[in-house]
Structure 1
Amino acid sequence: MEEGRRWEDMQVDCLVNIFRRLGLDDLTVSVPFVCTCWWRASLDPVCWRVLNLRSLDFRTWSQFSRSFGSRYRLKTLSFSAFLRLVVHRSHGSASELIFPLSSGASVHDLAYVSINCPRLRTLALPDKLMLEDDLRIPELIGRWKDLEQLELETKPTSFLETVAAIGHNCTRFARLKVRGLIGKEDASVIAMCLPELKQLELSGSYLTKDELAVIVSGCRKLERLTATDCLGFQADEELLRLASGIHSFEHEGSKLLSDNGYETDESEQQSGFFYW
């Protein structure tokens, strides 16, 4: 920059263009405390369209929690309160929301987001929710009409209803990530309700060749199918031929047998030989 010119003298549009590329830690703990000009620029909703909460450590003793508490004079950092802060600053413009894997997020947080982030296109849910919260996922998912991508770190109890809600309400939906036991009903509902699906990630799941065949046959527009490190199937010639129309089919590490030498099938999983 020219000699004598200061960062705080930059045009607001330029500052916003820079700040929108920063993480939530910088936007909440660093940038607002540099000067009044930076604080005002950081409040532009454009800076809060991508809400990646998974990159933050909400544990009481973490550097981020201690820094946030010090800046805002708080004894403890509440996840729900922080979520409401960043959602409020987005002013309804958030397009991507990624929950931490384990954050203590509740259905009340999801309901708040469903009302105040109506334009979400990408959503990644926490890995574990209470059963009563899990059962409300289909209802909440149906509110995001523009949803294009959903990541489920573990398959919820309400998976069938969730996929049906996506198929009924989310006309632009194109990518699903889920991990868990993918049974016959699961494969069938994916094929029936998400025929326009372009990307499906099932890595780390249990499913057989039959379930994969149902999905591939029903989701004719799949461009990428990722099923690495799965149990229950091995990519033989028949399966590879069936998936030959998919641009990218990743299956490395998937096998029929567990490390203990057991042949894993659905009844065996349910009887306790195979654990999630």
Structure 2
Amino acid sequence: MAGKRRWEDMEMDCLVAILQRLGLQDLTLSVPLVCRSWRKASLHPLCWRVLNLRDLDFMPWGDLTKSFMAEYRLQRFFFSGFLKLAVARGNRLVEEIMFPLLFGTSMQDLFFVSDECPRLKKLVLPNLSPADEADIPKLVGKWKDLEQLEMEAKPSSFLEMLSEINLHCKKFSGLKMCGSIKKEDMLAIVNLLPKLKFLCLSKSYLPREQLLGILSGCKELQRLTVRDCMGFEADEEVKKRGLGIKIFEHEGSKLFDDFDYNSDECDPL
């Protein structure tokens, strides 16, 4: 339109700043088709700094899968191929990756990311088999800048994983998982994660003794989330120990389950 600027005439830096707020589906299937300048901007590594794969539908019948196959003229869709495309466009500047919970991710994908994303700061792991969990310590030790790690359940290699984090990830400050938190787990959290600022153990089996140990031992903790846990009640001593923490969320936690059964011997992991 006469007298009005067009979107494609926007300076590249401004366009990149806008596009990096979009999700991966838009960056792969919508934005590049608008015009040449938008396509060029969508390929900038800053647009691929955060790879949130968890919000995408990778099912064979999903819109993303079918549209991606049509656009790139593929006979079959492979999650690994999509991941490699996204990581390549990040040009070793990727800082955050959130893997799908259940679909598609293999240990080969995780090792690929450990090699190609050296600047990773935040990692959200998928569900892994017990056999694959043994390799987690080898992975985390490669990310020197790792600050935050999230997983669905405490892995069998938990203690070894924290040892690797302690040795190699000097900026590590956030952990989220659930599971049966034993005394040795509590001691490892306290002793091996000295700069821990955020800890989420919601829906875990967390005995009162372990909770008090975390409250007393994690000196830099700013937020502790232990909602809907089994093994403790937020009594006066627990609340008093938590006064030094900026955010202490413990709602829904209780000592026994609904059947009045103390799960002290339960370790689902």
TM-score by length of 1: 0.93
Aligned positions of 1:1-276 closer than 5 A: 3=3, 5-126=5-126, 128-265=127-264, 267=265, 269-270=266-267
**Deviations along 1:148-179, whole A, 9 cap, x unmatched?**
11101111111111111111111111111011
Where do 5+ consecutive residues of structure 2 fail to align? Answer: none
The one-letter amino acid paired with 2:144 is K
SS in 1 for 2:110: helix
Contact map agreement 1:224 1:247 (CA 8 A) in 2: yes
The Cα of 1:264 is off from its aligned counterpart by 2.1
Where do 5+ consecutive residues of structure 1 fail to align? Answer: none
Q: 2:166 & 2:151 partners in 1: Cα distance?
A: 16
The Cα of 1:132 is off from its aligned counterpart by 3.0
Q: 2:260 & 2:230 partners in 1: Cα distance?
A: 12
The Cα of 1:7 is off from its aligned counterpart by 2.2
Distance 1:238 1:44, change over 3 A: same
Q: 1:16 & 1:167 partners in 2: Cα distance?
A: 36
**Deviations along 1:244-268, whole A, 9 cap, x unmatched?**
2111110000011112221221x1x
Q: 2:121 & 2:208 partners in 1: Cα distance?
A: 31
**Deviations along 1:45-67, whole A, 9 cap, x unmatched?**
01110111011011111121122
SS in 1 for 2:51: strand
The one-letter amino acid paired with 1:133 is D
SS in 2 for 1:93: coil
The Cα of 1:146 is off from its aligned counterpart by 0.6
The one-letter amino acid paired with 1:187 is M
The Cα of 1:32 is off from its aligned counterpart by 1.0
TM-score by length of 2: 0.96
The Cα of 1:10 is off from its aligned counterpart by 2.1
The Cα of 1:2 is off from its aligned counterpart by 6.7
The Cα of 1:4 is off from its aligned counterpart by 5.0
**Deviations along 1:85-107, whole A, 9 cap, x unmatched?**
00000000011111111122111
Contact map agreement 1:231 1:257 (CA 8 A) in 2: yes
Q: 2:234 & 2:225 partners in 1: Cα distance?
A: 12
**Deviations along 1:17-61, whole A, 9 cap, x unmatched?**
111111000000111112222111111101110111011011111
**Deviations along 1:178-224, whole A, 9 cap, x unmatched?**
11111111111001101211110001111101111121222111111
Distance 1:152 1:2, change over 3 A: farther
SS in 1 for 2:54: helix
Contact map agreement 1:65 1:76 (CA 8 A) in 2: no
SS in 2 for 1:97: strand
The one-letter amino acid paired with 2:77 is L
Q: Which moved more, 1:236-245 or 1:67-76?
A: 67-76
SS in 2 for 1:16: helix
The percent of aligned pairs where both chains have the same amino acid is 53
> After TM superposition, where is structure 1 displaced by more than 6 Å over at least 4 residues in a row?
none
Q: 2:217 & 2:234 partners in 1: Cα distance?
A: 19
The one-letter amino acid paired with 1:194 is L
